[in-house]
């Protein structure tokens, strides 16, 4: 068999990098649970009519198909989920009678998206989501709370600082309605492209897609230029001279988010009128987060308020959620060496093997250490002790235990400094920092 070529867009981490990823996922889960979010896992596939019913995502969905399917049924009607919000909405509808509302959920799983692979964008990737969903009505204070939870979770990770840009769909839609634009939501989607195609491109697209006049285009671009890390943005929006009840509602909600963040997490949130989020299901506050020094990656944590995504015709389940692109953050940092594990393997202690005949005795020692939560393995071969020590060094294993021979007590060596002394196998404990690999 010839050597396989890497498959673009499907990152596979080496063991040490996977340790970093696991530690990050564990840290995120721990923070989410501190805020009362319960863990949920959903299936990898969803019906295509569910995946495609909100927003322009058809080009990104991987369709599930059996290899031996008949020609007339080549499409099974199932696709891999491209995010965790749509599956969660379906999950809520199926389990509404068993859930207690408001329901606080976190979910950390892989997703699949058929887009052009590039730095920070992959075809298979890990996401970490939190959502709060309620029945019939969702109080606005959750739109204030969720960015603070995410800010706390990200601040605990050894990664560059984050800056969350927030806007409100009601604000944008109400502004475009007040301008007299016939299709405000189409205008929202156009303005969302401003970072990709620039103001002139947005101007041309507004004129082409929503028949915007030069004055309307000018006002749309003026709105998109407004940013502020305090509530002063509201006065600047009103100064543009556009009025609409929906605009007023969106301004009020966004002021609440920005003021709360300024008080509880200074420097985390900035109001940014160009943020729109492309998916149609967002109806209120929307969020996009950028990593300092890595703005080229785009948003690494996004989300927003959605009122109509989950509905069975009788009951409506509005929610608000944020999604951290775990792979988008970690893969570039790992590739640049900005993050690393303190060792390549979970092993804390390597039990040296004096001879091939002593393996069963060494296995028994390893079991005694493992019974007290100390990750232990036995050396693979009875080589000279120098080679066994080098085996541990190459993997970053901090301790080598030499079993006692001919009645001598066992000895433990810290191979980082060379200290070695006798040890009581049943009472010795490593320092907490040595017990398992961490992020360096």
How far apart are alpha carbons 91 and 189 in whole angstroms? Answer: 28
What is the DSSP-derived secondary structure letter of residue 410? P
Q: pLDDT at position 21, please?
A: 97
Domain with 29, as residue range(s), is 15-335
- Both 359 and 290 in one domain: the answer is no
Contacts of residue 94, Cβ cutoff 8 Å, sequence gap at least 6: none
Q: Are 268 and 151 in contact (CB under 8 A)?
A: yes
Q: Which residues contact 2 (CB under 8 A, 6 or more apart)?
A: none
- Which residue, of 275, 308, 335, is where some domain finishes? 335
The tokens of 47 are what? 């019906």
pLDDT per 10-residue tile (average), the chain, 440 residues = 83 95 97 98 92 68 79 71 92 95 97 88 95 95 95 95 96 94 89 88 91 92 94 95 95 95 93 84 93 94 91 89 97 95 96 96 97 97 96 97 90 95 96 93
Same domain, 63 and 140: yes
The number of folded domains in the chain is 2
Structure confidence at residue 54 (pLDDT)? 58
Do 241 and 373 fall within a single domain?
Answer: no
278 plus 414 within the same structural domain? no
Residue 38 shares a structural domain with residue 124 = yes
Contact 78, 45 (CB under 8 A): yes
Q: Is residue 157 part of a domain?
A: yes
**How many of the other CB atoms lie within 10 Å of CB of 2?**
4
Q: Are residues 173 and 249 in the same domain?
A: yes
Strand duo 399-402 + 349-351: pairing: parallel
326 lies in the same domain as 380: no
Map residue 74 onto helix, strand or coil.
coil
Structural contact between residues 402 and 413, judged by C-beta atoms closer than 8 angstroms: yes
- State the pTM of this model: 0.90
Reference 41, options 111, 132, 107, 127; nearest CA is 107
| Nearest-angstrom CA–CA distance, 291 and 299 | 8
3-state class (DSSP) for residue 42: coil
Kindly state whether residues 292 and 369 are assigned to the same domain. Answer: no
* Residue finishing a domain among 274, 304, 335: 335
Is residue 6 domain-resident? no
User: What CATH code is carried by the domain that includes residue 378?
Assistant: 3.40.50.800
**Which of 148, 164, 170 lies closest to 260 in space, CA to CA?**
148
Residue 92 lies in a domain: yes
Report pLDDT for 72.
57
Q: Are residues 253 and 377 in the same domain?
A: no
Domain end point (choices 305, 335, 365): 335
CATH, residue 105: 3.30.930.10
Say if 393 falls within a structural domain. Answer: yes
- Residue 227 lies inside a defined structural domain of this protein: yes
Burial of 206 (0-12, 13-18, 19+ CB in 10 A): buried
How high is the pLDDT of residue 67? 75
> What are the b/e assignments for 14-53, b being 16+ CB within 10 Å?
eebbebbbebbeebbbebbeebebeebebebbbebebbee
Asked if residue 5 belongs to a domain, the reply is no
Q: Residue 226 domain-assigned? A: yes
Q: Across the strands, what pairs with 323?
A: 129, 302
Structure confidence at residue 71 (pLDDT) = 57
Indicate whether 31 belongs to any domain.
yes
* Together in a domain, 79 and 182: yes
Count CB neighbours of 314 within 10 A: 5
Please tell me the predicted confidence (pLDDT) of residue 20: 97
Q: Is 99 exposed, middle or buried (0-12, 13-18, 19+ CB in 10 A)?
A: middle
**427 and 318 in a common domain:** no
Are 401 and 317 contained in the same domain? no
Q: Where are the beta strands (DSSP E) in 91-249?
A: 103-112, 124-133, 162-168, 227-228
């Amino acid at each position: 068999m010839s050597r396989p070529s890497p498959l673009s867009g499907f990152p596979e981490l080496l063991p040490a990098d996977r340790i970093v990823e696991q530690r990050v996922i564990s840290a995120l889960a721990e923070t989410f649970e501190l805020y009362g979010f319960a863990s949920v896992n959903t299936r990898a596939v969803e019906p295509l009519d569910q995946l495609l019913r909100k927003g322009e995502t058809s080009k990104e969905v991987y369709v599930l198909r059996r290899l031996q399917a008949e020609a007339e049924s080549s499409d099974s009607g199932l696709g891999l989920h491209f995010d965790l919000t749509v599956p969660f909405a379906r999950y809520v509808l199926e389990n509404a009678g068993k859930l207690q509302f408001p329901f606080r959920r976190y979910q950390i799983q892989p997703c699949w998206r058929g887009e052009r692979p590039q730095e920070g964008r992959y075809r298979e990737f890990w996401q970490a989501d939190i959502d709060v969903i309620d029945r019939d009505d969702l109080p606005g204070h959750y739109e204030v709370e969720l960015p603070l939870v995410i800010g706390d979770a990200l601040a605990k990770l050894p990664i560059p600082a984050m800056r969350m840009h927030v806007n409100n769909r009601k604000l944008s839609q109400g502004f475009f309605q007040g301008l007299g634009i016939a299709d405000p939501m189409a205008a929202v989607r156009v303005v969302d492209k401003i970072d990709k195609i620039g103001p002139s491109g947005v101007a041309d697209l507004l004129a082409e897609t929503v028949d915007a006049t030069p004055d309307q285009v000018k006002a749309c671009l003026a709105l998109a230029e407004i940013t502020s890390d305090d509530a002063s943005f509201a006065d600047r929006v009103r100064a543009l001279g556009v009025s609409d009840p929906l605009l007023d509602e969106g301004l009020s909600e966004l002021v609440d988010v920005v003021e709360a963040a300024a008080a509880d997490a200074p420097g985390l949130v900035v109001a940014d009128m160009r943020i729109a989020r492309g998916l149609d299901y967002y109806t209120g506050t929307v969020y996009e987060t950028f990593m300092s020094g890595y703005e080229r990656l785009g948003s690494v944590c996004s989300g927003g308020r959605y009122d109509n995504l989950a509905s069975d015709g009788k009951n409506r389940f509005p929610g608000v959620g944020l999604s951290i692109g775990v792979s988008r953050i970690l893969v570039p940092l790992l590739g640049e060496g900005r993050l690393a594990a303190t060792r390549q393997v979970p092993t804390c202690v390597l039990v040296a093997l004096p001879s091939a005949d002593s393996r069963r005795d060494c296995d028994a020692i390893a079991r005694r250490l493992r019974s007290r939560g100390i990750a232990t393995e036995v050396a693979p071969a009875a080589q000279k002790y120098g080679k066994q020590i080098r085996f541990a060094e190459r993997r970053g294993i901090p301790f080598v235990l030499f079993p006692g021979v001919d009645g001598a007590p066992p000895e433990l060596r810290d191979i980082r400094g060379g200290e070695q002394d006798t040890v009581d196998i049943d009472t010795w404990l490593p320092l907490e920092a040595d017990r398992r690999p961490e992020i360096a």
